[in-house]
Amino acid sequence: MNSAAPAPDVGQPRAGVTWALLGGSFPNLVQWYNLYAFAVFAPFFRTEFFDPSDGGSLIYVYAIFALTFVMRPIGSWIFGRIAGRRGLRFTLVSSGL
């Protein structure tokens, strides 16, 4: 009796795995593009959101930019817990996606 396990298939990845990786990476790419665009155009946004004569308006805009990096892990923790307790469908509907 030969009890050796069969060798794992180390060929090309399946199409489903490739599409799953691309599908999971695309929203992250879009978010980084949005953050980059916000950082580039922040000097123009400061006059739209805050008083142009205020000297700290550019700092306020960059503080909002920094807040996105703080809130992302907090939001993923909150919605991850909701998904674990109530399910993914409820979480996606409640998050507005």
Q: From first to last of the 97 residues of the chain, give the pLDDT tens digit.
A: 566 666 666 666 677 778 878 887 888 888 889 889 988 998 888 888 888 888 888 898 889 889 988 998 998 899 999 999 999 889 888 887 6
Record the tokens describing residue 17, joined without a space: 């795995």
Which residue in 44, 42, 34 sits closest to 64, CA to CA?
42
5 three-state secondary structure: coil
What sign does the CA torsion over 27, 30, 34, 35 have? Answer: positive
Compute the distance between CA of residue 38 and CA of residue 1 in angstroms, rounded to an integer.
66
Compute the distance between CA of residue 81 and CA of residue 29 in angstroms, rounded to an integer.
24
Residue-level pLDDT at 17? 79
Interacting residues of 73 by C-beta distance below 8 A, sequence separation 6+:
none
Residue-level pLDDT at 13? 62
Residue-level pLDDT at 27? 81
Count other Cβ atoms within 10 Å, centred on residue 11.
6
